[in-house]
Structure 1
Amino acid sequence: MSEYRQSLNLPKTAFPMRGNLAVQEPQILAFWKKQNLYQQIQEARRNRPLFLLHDGPPFANGDVHMGTALNKVLKDFVIRSKSMAGYRAPFRPGWDCHGLPIEFKVARQFTRLSAVEIRKKSEESARKFIQIQREQFVRLGVLGDWKNPYLTLDPSYEADVVRCFARFVQEGLVYRSRKPVLWSTGAQTALAEAEIEYREKISPAIYVKFPIPIEEALRKALPTGQPISLVIWTTTPWTLPSNLAIAVHNEFEYEVVSTGTEYLIIASQLVSTFQEKSRVAIERGIRRCFGNQLVGIQAQHPFLDRNSVVYAAGFVTLKVGVGCVHVAPGHGEDDYSLGLQHGLGLLSPVDDYGRYTADCGLPSLVGEYVLDADEKIIAILEGKRALVGRSDYTHSYPHCWRSKTPLIFRAVEQFFIRIEELRHRAVKEVERVNWLPHWGKNRLRGTLVSRQDWCISRQRVWGVPLPVFYTGAGDPILDPDLINRVAEIFSREGSDSWFRKSDAEWTNLLGLCRGTTRRNDTLDVWIESGVSHEAVLRHTRGLTFPADLYLEATDQHRGWFQSSLMTSIALNHTAPYNTVLTHGFVVGRDGLRKISKSEQENYKTPTRVQHFVEKFGADIVRLWISSVHFTDDIPFSEEIFTRLTDSYRRIRNTLRILLANLNGFRGATCQPVLLTLVDKWLLARLRQVLDSCLEAYSKLEFYRVYSAINRFCTIDLSSLYVDITKDRLYCDALYSERRCATQWVMYNVFDALCRLMAPILVFTTEEAWGYFHPGESVHLQCFPQGTYDAEDTEVMHKFSQLLEIRSKVSVAVETARKSNVIGTPLQARVTIRTTNPQTIAYFRERPEEMEEVLILSDLAVLQDSIDSISIVPTSYRKCARCWRHRKEVGGMPSPNLCRRCYDVLQQMEKES
């Protein structure tokens, strides 16, 4: 063999087996930058239909972690695949720059700063991480208009936010009210629902007596032989100083029970639970009544000198407690609504830091942090003999996403948007929008149905100011024209001007009455990002409203998806998106804890994407993202990435094998006449894969693309076609018709695979494409078309029969080899006896093709009444060049060669 080695057409390519991605990928990025690839693509698709994915802005703090990487790479899959499908698919990335996390960090790092100084430091921090994240997104291969991102801190964007606020005011949607909101005592601000984390908390669950005066008991025909009390259950003892009422349910049955010394009133269905939790021995059967008979009772507060009136309320349930609910209108949504209905007033004796004020009625607790006061309240109840029992209650409790402190409901003067005015249209639009996966529709609709009015004011300084002035009497001036004039100033000077200028300067600038003031409240950041459809889609050349797609994580059903929808309904009476795709969270291997900036320190495994890019390469990260069902939560670990490199190597090796076998190929534009069945089969499989992948791309099901390509490379190409055609590629004449046909097939496969994988393996396909098309980019190409047809079906059927025979022959050959009948399959004389006339006909028409597919030297196919395979050593000698055992070896002028190899060498000798 060695003496003939130089005559073989062995594979040859400079495309390396090892990707060395950490080195290779930055070089490709430099090539893209030099070529201005993004603009080239936009220019190439200038007159094509538009597909618009609107980027939900990530927050400008911290490095990019795996969760954010998942989001941005998925968006890149969409943009690149739509572009290669023939769409104009621009991508303008953005950043959410304002908000509590940045300000909170600055305030902790620097003390005693003015509002202007805090904003300056916050902007510096935001811009720093915008640049860091931009570089990390680019390193991941995410293509977009990185030179012109939208930033919520840009003066033009801030001005658009204020203009949108003016339109909300004009529509009568904005009002000011003092009502309970979720309040962060750690950050001293109201929070939006999307800024809340739920964590497990153990609270004291207490049963408290509210005594009923004897005249009230007589009036309601209640037993009076012993003292009688209504019992309430609460897990927030600190709110009892704010109690103004008790709620019961009209239709629930309540029971008077006796402890032997007093009567207690409890919902009948919960008496047993009460007895178990409180450990109080009771006697039942004293008296029963319905809740409506208790309404109107003037019970006594357990430790303050005031009454607590009983009202009926639909929010009372029998899930926990005793069916009698403690009502503090200053500390709960349902409580507030009930208090508003009955004119109870609003008592919320808690300051911004969560400390009791003098209005709590307990001088000893003034200045005490309310969540530390539970035990002191319980001690007061014990001293008043009002505590019936207590136990620990473990429950999910809201916490501030930044300070990590438990939240409280607290009545504060805030600005709100009337959700009820928008709800019906919003729900209607939710039905119209296409949701991927489908359950996203129900999730968002559920949040809309139950949502209260939107608290849009924040007691912070790093954000777009709430552009409201106040009269000398403290009344807000909600004037759309005035607000729009502020927007014009912001567009020129930025929103820092709100804090730099004094009240007098603003008054003079806008021609307001003397004594007019302003405050430092800012707008909810969800307003800022929520109106990006207005500030970006309507105000960026080449973009349109609404977007074709919004793509974010599942938490955005109560975040950006919802804020965008509600603001768009208010401004445009329609949803800002036609399709919404929701992906899950990246979680640790335990599947429990999501990856986020705030959780990174809790992981032993690194969560920053840069670690994985530097260790494995960006294409491995992208391949991982393409391989998962991203609508579910996605576990990750270094072990998973290590395993995934095997899949990458198989795909890369496939491209390398194709390139190596295409060495010297020169017939890309003309289809050869001679295509064997295996050639036709591979082309049919290619068209099948193309159809499947193009459909998957269109449905944004990228895992199907990964699965189809991985299988095609591993099984169809490497295990079958390359193995089967190896002999003809190596041993046929360089430009023989059969060999050129094989190269033509491989060229088409290589071309299609590079294009098909380009949206996912952006660097590897660019590298491989450059070996065949130097200086060109695969990302300027379009997808090939599949068009799998009836003729392909027939080819697939014929070849599947041949593969079935191949499988049986392989088993028989392996058995013979292990039994030392033969050494290698090429040494075997294989006789197939069959009842199948199609197999007989195929062998008679194309005996060499069938030998090639089965990778045999000596094959006979005979018709018989039974199916069988027999194997004996062949009597033919081995060709020294191709190692096939052929009948003619020994009878040629060169006795060590078969006819094919002799003819090839003769031709080579003539050509030389």
Structure 2
Amino acid sequence: RSKKETLSSTEIRRRCRVYAQKFVNIQREEFKRLGVLGDWENPYLTMTPDYEADIVREFGKVVESDGVYKAKKPVLWCPYDETALAEAEVEYADHTSPAIYVKFKINMRSLAAQQILGENVVDPYLIIWTTTPWTLAANQAICLHPKFDYQIVQVDRGKAFPQTWIIAKELVEPCVKKFDEVTDHKVLKTCKGADLKPLRYFSPFIYLPNLDTPSYPVVLGEHVTLEQGTGCVHTAPGHGREDYQVGMEYDLKVFAPVDSRGRFTTEIEILPDSLPGIEVHKGNDSIIAALKGNYALVKEEKIEHPYPHCWRCKKPVIFRATEQWFISMSGQNLREQAINAIETKVKWIPEWGKDRILGMMKNRPDWCISRQRSWGVPIVAFSCTSCGKLLYNKIIINHVAKQMETGGADIWFSKSANELLPEGTICTDCGGVAFNKENDILDVWFESGVSHAAVLERRPELAWPADLYLEGSDQHRGWFHSSLLASLSSGKGCAPYATVLTHGFTVDGAGKKMSKSSGNVVVPQEIIDKHGAEILRLWVAATDFRDDVRISNAILDQLVEAHRKIRNTCRFLISNLYDYHLEDMAGNPNFLEIDRWALHRLTEVKKKVLYAYEQFEFHTVFHTLNQFCSVDLSTFYLDIIKDRLYASSADSRERREAQTVLYHALSVITRLMAPILSFTAEEIWPFIPENKTASVHLASMDTIPADDGWKEQDTSTWDRLIQVRNEVNSHLEKARVAKQISSSLGASVAIHASSPLYEQLKQRESFLPTFFIVSHVDLISGETFKVEVTARPLETKCERCWVYTEEVGHNSTHPTLCQRCVDVVGGDAPPC
């Protein structure tokens, strides 16, 4: 802060620009390393002259629609940074505050008070509860709910004189039990809050009011609740939004005796002389001490509750009434327009995002768009030095924006008001020709909120509105929110986006928030250095972003293994396509049944993955591809066709059919994985034997080869066959463990089955040894399904295909091969 006070605005801006550009460069390189596609040499930055000019123009459009005004209202204020804040610029953190009950003496000099309470009432008080004692210095009223029942209660206080207290009916018992000074109590009367409106009271900081002591009104408000406190709400229009709204209704003074640094000012008259100059939170003790001295403090407690803190300095903020610029939520029916767009015009992913932003929009106040800083885009407005009239309209604003196109927002701080204004500008009220520039800058959320205009409308390759806005769940009150209001208030008539997608935050493996003190922080660069950017991309895609996303070394290790399996599957496909050419492609009618099943599954995977992409369900994409590669291909289809790939003749129909399936699988998988496993897909792409684009990322998803003709109408038979295979594999594994066989090809399998399974197996009897990867299969019709595994010790193993068969040794030229392998390698000699 001390350094900031010694620097000029232009020097602060210069340093900020250098600092911002440094991190633009860092983030650009980090995004590149992650494989994020972007126009990296021509990014949009809110600090470039053209963008700054567009910010000002969009502000001008809101001004033209009569949506901008300047007023003294309570806003969130950071005393450390000395600036107003938006809701999106505060973070809620646990904070311990004093919670006090205070009694305000009722003025019984009025006839109305005597009629309501009775002439003989004993020492009457209104009891309030507050967690911000410092705001009592600005109290202007006490608010009651018009429809609540309030009880007038006589309280006995031991040796002290009895008093009469007014508390909401439902809170009387909880309160008197809490108050140490109350020994007994008796309800004298019950009446509605509206009936108590004629009452007036004195400040609790005056012990003995006299005839000249000012009194304050009781007012009514619907915001009063019975959740805690007394039902009587201390009201300071200068330090609270609801207080301000009530104050406007009852013409209360907007009193805020606090300076920009959050210190009490000399405007305070009835409090200790030591209070001015003290920071308000530190002043709580002095306030409480003064109340004790006047016997006005009923009870003091400590309460821990979520309290707003500045997002920059992390210090507690306050509500403080100051002159600020606002965009009206009622002008042009802005609130109604926004609600309609949220409910009917935008797709929200996940769906609950709609309810969240809708609730915020329904209850939000007017948008405070001014900030008391040097770094940013100025609010283009002027004031007459003679009469103080504000001067801001679209003509003036656009005139300044045109100058910013080349000079940027810096010109506002380097040129005089008359240099910036159109020639011949005069004050329409007094005819003055000298003007001052507005000192405030625009809210940064307005800057980012007009990106739809500064980016989409400027770049010919882009279209308005955007297809998608993507950010974290905190942006329902941030960028999503400000973009919608900026678009509608400037007269666009609709939202700047068609779809809004929200993701959760990153937490550790146990779901806990990351922090250095907990030692659970996972640094992205360390993941990249250890595993490569691909694993980090895979982690992003593999989890359901709609919830908070967990990350840990254990989770990353699982993804490393999953990536290895996908990569190895693709490596297998590539290694078996080394001699495959497009002219070798087999037609659909020629495919074996197992190949048709594989192509059917490929079609299903393609449709499921493409639909998942459309729905932004990237975790479904990953799990579908992982399942297909690891289970459907690696442990099933590829295992079965290895015999055809390795043992059949190179140009044989059965091998070419298998290769055709592998080709289609590789082509489809590579394109489908490309948005997620970008580096892996790009590495695979050159090895796919087809006429294609230079990069997989230039290939359209529409060209993915997965023919609907491959889709089978009924897969129930194959579903059952796969179940049988799993059962057979289970028995084979038991035989291996018992050392009855060394491999599945050393086994013979007998399957007992009834109809219709028996018939289904019988139709495929010649294929079953290949299907189960055994040397022989016997089918036995029976009522009970059963699998039996036996070794084949009487037969010889073919050294080429490893199948045990009686055919081995029948050819003199190749005595160690079976007949099929003899035919493949060429066997001219007669049988032995």
TM-score, scaled to structure 2: 0.92
Change (3 A) 1:286 1:789: farther
Aligned residues of 1:840 and 1:861 also touching (Cα < 8 A) = no
Aligned residues of 2:747 and 2:790 also touching (Cα < 8 A) = yes
Percent identity between the two aligned chains: 41
Pick aligned residue for 2:769 from 839, 851, 861 = 851
Match of 1:515 in 2: 434
Q: Does residue 734 in structure 1 map to residue 647 in structure 2? A: no
Match of 1:861 in 2: 779
| Structure 1 position 221, deviation (Å) | 3.0
| Structure 1 position 821, deviation (Å) | 4.5
Aligned residues of 1:499 and 1:520 also touching (Cα < 8 A) = no
Aligned residues of 1:674 and 1:738 also touching (Cα < 8 A) = no
| Aligned 1:724-873 pairs, distance under 5 A | 724-772=640-688, 776-783=694-701, 784-788=704-708, 792-794=712-714, 796-819=715-738, 821-836=740-755, 839-840=758-759, 842-843=761-762, 846-873=764-791
Amino acid at match of 1:419: M
- Which digits, 9 at most, give the CA deviation of each residue in 1:205-226, with x for residues without a partner? 1110101133244242346352
Amino acid at match of 2:566: I
Pick aligned residue for 1:424 from 318, 327, 336 = 336
Q: Which structure exhibits the higher relative contact order, with contacts defined as CA atoms closer than 8 Å and separated by 6 or more residues?
A: 1
Number of residues of Structure 1 aligned to a counterpart in Structure 2: 796
CA RMSD of aligned residues (A): 2.2
Amino acid at match of 2:726: S
Secondary structure of 2:469 counterpart: strand
Aligned residues of 2:647 and 2:821 also touching (Cα < 8 A) = yes
| Aligned 1:645-660 pairs, distance under 5 A | 645-660=560-575
| Structure 1 position 484, deviation (Å) | 1.2
Task: Tell me which moved more, 513-522 or 698-707.
Answer: 513-522
Change (3 A) 1:138 1:908: farther
Q: Distance in 1 between matches of 2:747 and 2:186?
A: 94
Secondary structure of 1:329 counterpart: coil
Q: Distance in 1 between matches of 2:819 and 2:434?
A: 107
Secondary structure of 1:241 counterpart: helix
Q: Distance in 1 between matches of 2:524 and 2:548?
A: 17
| Structure 1 position 429, deviation (Å) | 1.2
Q: Distance in 2 between matches of 1:827 and 1:221?
A: 103
Q: Distance in 2 between matches of 1:580 and 1:336?
A: 34
Pick aligned residue for 2:315 from 398, 405, 417 = 405
Q: Distance in 1 between matches of 2:494 and 2:828?
A: 73
Match of 1:104 in 2: none
| Structure 1 position 398, deviation (Å) | 0.6
Match of 2:209 in 1: none
Task: Tell me which moved more, 394-403 or 896-905.
Answer: 896-905
| Aligned 1:283-322 pairs, distance under 5 A | 283-304=185-206, 305-322=213-230
Aligned residues of 2:221 and 2:246 also touching (Cα < 8 A) = yes
| Aligned 1:370-385 pairs, distance under 5 A | 370-385=280-295
Match of 1:550 in 2: 469
Match of 2:171 in 1: 270
Q: Distance in 2 between matches of 1:446 and 1:606?
A: 33
Aligned residues of 2:74 and 2:320 also touching (Cα < 8 A) = yes
Match of 1:162 in 2: 56
Change (3 A) 1:592 1:287: farther
Aligned residues of 2:77 and 2:84 also touching (Cα < 8 A) = yes
Q: Distance in 1 between matches of 2:11 and 2:92?
A: 33
Q: Distance in 2 between matches of 1:766 and 1:356?
A: 64
Match of 1:59 in 2: none
Q: Which runs of 5+ in 1 are unaligned?
A: 1-106
| Structure 1 position 493, deviation (Å) | 1.2
Match of 1:127 in 2: 21
Aligned residues of 1:691 and 1:788 also touching (Cα < 8 A) = no
Secondary structure of 1:331 counterpart: coil
Q: Does residue 692 in structure 1 map to residue 600 in structure 2? A: no
Match of 1:342 in 2: 250
| Structure 1 position 873, deviation (Å) | 3.0
Aligned residues of 1:207 and 1:388 also touching (Cα < 8 A) = yes
Aligned residues of 1:205 and 1:391 also touching (Cα < 8 A) = yes
Q: Does residue 495 in structure 1 map to residue 409 in structure 2? A: yes
Match of 1:888 in 2: 807
| Structure 1 position 612, deviation (Å) | 1.9
TM-score, scaled to structure 1: 0.84
Match of 1:149 in 2: 43
Match of 1:236 in 2: 132
Amino acid at match of 1:627: A
Secondary structure of 2:826 counterpart: helix
Pick aligned residue for 1:484 from 391, 398, 401 = 398
| Structure 1 position 837, deviation (Å) | 5.2
Q: Which runs of 5+ in 2 are unaligned?
A: 157-161, 207-212, 427-431
Match of 1:436 in 2: 349
| Structure 1 position 228, deviation (Å) | 1.2
Change (3 A) 1:588 1:810: closer
Q: Does residue 460 in structure 1 map to residue 362 in structure 2? A: no
Change (3 A) 1:729 1:786: closer
Q: Distance in 1 between matches of 2:422 and 2:755?
A: 99
Q: Distance in 1 between matches of 2:795 and 2:732?
A: 17
| Structure 1 position 149, deviation (Å) | 1.1
Q: Distance in 1 between matches of 2:97 and 2:571?
A: 63
Change (3 A) 1:348 1:661: same
- Which digits, 9 at most, give the CA deviation of each residue in 1:410-438, with x for residues without a partner? 00001111111211111111122111111
Q: Distance in 1 between matches of 2:631 and 2:69?
A: 65
Change (3 A) 1:732 1:899: same
Aligned residues of 1:329 and 1:347 also touching (Cα < 8 A) = yes
Pick aligned residue for 2:100 from 206, 221, 224 = 206
Task: Tell me which moved more, 665-674 or 778-787.
Answer: 665-674
Secondary structure of 1:574 counterpart: coil
- Which digits, 9 at most, give the CA deviation of each residue in 1:342-391, with x for residues without a partner? 11111100000000001122322010000111111000000000001111
Change (3 A) 1:717 1:112: same
Q: Distance in 2 between matches of 1:731 and 1:753?
A: 26
Aligned residues of 2:381 and 2:437 also touching (Cα < 8 A) = yes
Pick aligned residue for 1:610 from 525, 529, 545 = 525
Pick aligned residue for 1:583 from 503, 517, 539 = 503
Q: Distance in 2 between matches of 1:689 and 1:355?
A: 65
Change (3 A) 1:460 1:900: same
Task: Tell me which moved more, 731-740 or 828-837.
Answer: 828-837
Amino acid at match of 1:255: Q
Q: Does residue 560 in structure 1 map to residue 479 in structure 2? A: yes
Task: Tell me which moved more, 614-623 or 369-378.
Answer: 614-623
Secondary structure of 2:218 counterpart: strand
Change (3 A) 1:427 1:646: same
| Higher relative helix content | 1
| Structure 1 position 540, deviation (Å) | 1.0
Aligned residues of 2:599 and 2:710 also touching (Cα < 8 A) = no
Change (3 A) 1:117 1:902: same
| Structure 1 position 869, deviation (Å) | 3.0
| Structure 1 position 460, deviation (Å) | 0.5
Task: Tell me which moved more, 317-326 or 526-535.
Answer: 526-535
| Aligned 1:69-218 pairs, distance under 5 A | 112-216=6-110, 217-218=113-114
| Structure 1 position 798, deviation (Å) | 3.0
Q: Distance in 2 between matches of 1:392 and 1:417?
A: 38
Q: Distance in 2 between matches of 1:329 and 1:618?
A: 54
Secondary structure of 1:359 counterpart: coil
Q: Distance in 2 between matches of 1:110 and 1:259?
A: 56
Secondary structure of 1:330 counterpart: coil
Q: Distance in 1 between matches of 2:365 and 2:58?
A: 21
- Which digits, 9 at most, give the CA deviation of each residue in 1:705-739, with x for residues without a partner? 11110100111111111211122222222222212
- Which digits, 9 at most, give the CA deviation of each residue in 1:813-854, with x for residues without a partner? 3344445544433222322232235644654x5544211011
Change (3 A) 1:145 1:507: closer
Q: Distance in 2 between matches of 1:816 and 1:587?
A: 46
Q: Distance in 2 between matches of 1:636 and 1:841?
A: 47
